[in-house]
Structure 1
Amino acid sequence: MNLRLVVNKEADLHGVIDALHREAANAIGGRNLKIDIIDHASERLDEWWSQVLFEVAEVMEKRSYSDLPKILEANKLAGMSIDTAIDDTYVYIRLVDGDHVKFVLLERMPALMGVWTSE
């Protein structure tokens, strides 16, 4: 199921997504909820995000989530504020530059458990 979510600059994306998943669980059954976030990004924010995307992808691939805020802060633009949050399912990023905001929702990959025999 697809959902378009329009958010404002002050939105608590983590809280909104959590509430959506809880409230929609019965309505959508076992189907996945795909969320398309409509924000108020600027060309400057979009360009900045594309420049840090490789490092962000590497952090996500390695599951070294605690490095993400450090990478974002080290590369941030003058006047930009960055907020991050994490739960079992997503990493939430809010980038604010003046009146513009970009929200990024990154899905976490579950850890794969190996099977060991006792032989």
Structure 2
Amino acid sequence: MSTALLIPSIALTAATLQQSEVQAQSRFERRIQERIEKRRLQEESKLTDTQKQQLFEARRDWLLSSYDQRLALLNSGQTCLESAQTFDAGKTCREKQRQARRQLLEQSRQVMNSERQRVGLSPLRPLKPFSV
């Protein structure tokens, strides 16, 4: 009887340990992101009204100019998911969407970083501080 319970017990222990590791990593990454955000807010609080306006205008211009691209991304994701018939097809749709959103985010980061440097701020960092 004890042998029959040994395998499920080991599996449960392994799953619990793996989940704890993921949660610890998530808390660590979240703490780093919070510090980065706090530093960014402190840096931006020292801006003049003119610099704040310039950043706002750059952000607004980017959002308006990329609106059609973002809308097309949402529509293509919806179309892909509607036509997906299997789990793998749905997974492929989600991966394509994730990759396209990351590319769009990177474009936004480049635009905003050039404006931030122009007004004397440090560039924005990637969302994942340990990514290459």
TM band (smaller chain): 0.3 to 0.5
Q: TM-score, normalised by structure 2?
A: 0.30
Q: TM-score, normalised by structure 1?
A: 0.32
More strand by percentage: 1
Larger Rg: 2
More helix by percentage: 2
